[in-house]
Amino acid sequence: MTRTDLADTDPQDTPTLGVAMIGYAFMGRAHSHGWRNARSFFSPPALPRLTVVAGRNEVGALDTARRFGWESVETDWREVLRRDDVQIVDVCTPGNTHAEIAIAALEAGKHVLCEKPLANSVAEAEAMAAAAEKAAANGVRSMVGFTYRRVPAIAYARQLVAEGALGQLRHVRAQYLQDWLVDETVPLSWRLDKDLAGSGALGDIGAHIIDLVQFITGEHLTGVSALTETFVKERPTGASSSGLTASSDDSGELGPVTVDDAAIFLSRLTGGALATFEATRFATGRKNAIRIEINGSTGSLAFDFEDMNVLHVLTGEDLSAGFTRVLVTEPGHPYIAAWWPAGHILGYEHGFTHQAVDFLTDIANGTDPRPSFSDGLQVQRVLAAVEASAAANAAWTPIG
Ligand code: SOE
């Protein structure tokens, strides 16, 4: 009989990288899930070790650490930059801390994965992109956490467009529809505070559809004409919250909402296609509906995250045939072979595993991850243009 104790039996020829996750709430849980499953279903050329969770609230950080098997907790993120057992810093905090943490981590020689949007301003994003470019010269890698790029149906959509299946792109329609703020008694949280979040629906969910459109089409937005609105301008003051599940402090006091509740904007892509975007937290009945439709000269595609394993595709000779419903779960579809047989569908959390695997692979291979901080800077420029246009009665605002 043979007994093998698995502890520290990782293949010696596969490097193990210590991960320090800064933040522990909603994104902390999603990222923890991704790091844990990276090695369970994929064989990345570098393995993650869940070394430390850092959070100012030790109770919250310890809860996430215990639930997901992190090895230690720090209450000061600066401490993890000094640790030799940390090679990756994963920034899962609100946007007002992204620049400080990510730049310090890059300068400390740590690879950095930073949640979206990259920053709360173009200036911060420019500084982060410059730090990332400097660090890359020394083999230090960085990535922005636009995980929806790693939904198999989205990655498949990009393949179809890149292969020319849709021909010349004419129209892009992109929506990100949520309704968690329709209830006016939902209290204030960090996502409703411009100083912490940078913007509201625009940066939180609008950033995702900007990145997705640029990812799928391979083109950039050249300018925007925009409107934003804050429908509910005051809310009950909230207790500590992760922003989506805030609880009122029952004081009866009201505080100002300092961000947008919704943003809509028109654009033109570098290839000439006309594009419309809508990001709102007031689409009553829509929970997390990311909807992308692209119409081209020889075909179309349509996606809805609330049916995330399906891509509706129209290509080929007979455009009168209507859309085909493709269940994107075949072994040949992006990421699927590592999971289950055809038809055993994936969920929201799988994108975080794909993100972890791709980041580990790029680090091990010495290649630059995408989306890069430069990609994140491009999205930040679009966000800033939307806000500038909305402040100027929807005036057309070019994007640098
Ligand atoms: C809240 O709108 C939120 O959690 C976003 O912050 C995430 O980026 C998105 O993936 C889900 O919704």
Query: Is the model's pLDDT at 101 over the cut of 80?
Result: yes
Q: What's the rounded mean pLDDT across residues 160-186?
A: 98
pTM of the model: 0.96
Which residues have a Cβ under 8 Å from the Cβ of 50 and sit 6 or more positions away? 19, 21, 32, 35, 36, 68, 69, 70, 71
Average pLDDT over residues 67-90: 98
Cβ atoms of 263 and 279 within 8 Å: the answer is: yes
CATH 3.40.50.1820 fits 14-148, yes or no: no
Distance 98 CA to ligand 1 centre (A): 16
For residue 248, is pLDDT > 90? no
Share of the chain above pLDDT 70, in %: 98
Pinpoint the residues of the chain covered by CATH 3.30.360.10: 152-347+373-398
Q: Distance from the CA of 205 to the center of ligand 1, in angstroms?
A: 6
Q: What is the pLDDT at residue 323? A: 97
Residue 281 alpha carbon, nearest atom of ligand 1: 2
The Cα–Cα gap between 64 and 59 comes to 9
Q: Which residues pair with 47 in a beta bridge?
A: 16
Range of lowest pLDDT (115-119, 162-166, 237-241): 237-241
Predicted local confidence at residue 375, as pLDDT = 98
Statement: residue 95 has pLDDT above 70? yes
d(CA 45, CA 15): 7
Mutate to test the pocket of ligand 1, among 204, 208, 305, 308 (most ligand atoms within 8 A of CB): 204
What would the pLDDT profile of 2-58 be if each residue is shown by its tens digit? 988 887 777 778 899 999 999 999 999 999 999 999 999 999 999 999 999 999 999
pLDDT tens-digit readout, 306-330? 999 999 999 988 889 899 999 999 9
Name the band, by pLDDT with cuts 50, 70 and 90, for residue 400.
Answer: confident
Q: Return residue ranges of the chain for CATH 3.40.50.720.
A: 14-148
Q: Mean pLDDT over residues 352-362, rounded?
A: 98
- Tokens standing for 67? 């639930």
Q: Are 267 and 174 a contacting pair, CB within 8 Å?
A: no
pLDDT category at 246 given cuts 50, 70, 90 is low
Distance (Å) from CA 4 to ligand 1 centroid: 42
Residue 244's pLDDT is 66
Residue nearest to atom 6 of ligand 1 (CA): 204
| Cα 208 to Cα 176: distance, rounded to the nearest angstrom | 8
Quote the ligand 1 centre to 306 CA distance (angstroms): 14
Ligand 1 lining (C-beta closer than 6 Å):
26, 178, 204-205, 244, 288
Question: Is the Cβ–Cβ distance between 283 and 289 less than 8 Å?
Answer: yes
69 vs 83: CA distance, rounded Å: 19
Q: Which CATH class is domain 152-347+373-398?
A: alpha beta
- Taking a C-beta distance cutoff of 8 angstroms, is the pair 389, 225 a contact? yes
* Ligand 1 atom nearest to 243, measured from its CA: 1
Ligand 1 atom closest to residue 201's alpha carbon, by position in its atom list: 2
pLDDT band at 105 (very low <50, low <70, confident <90, very high): very high
Q: Is beta strand 289-296 parallel, antiparallel or unpaired with respect to 299-304? A: antiparallel
pLDDT, residue 249, reads 78
Atom of ligand 1 nearest to the CA of 207: 8
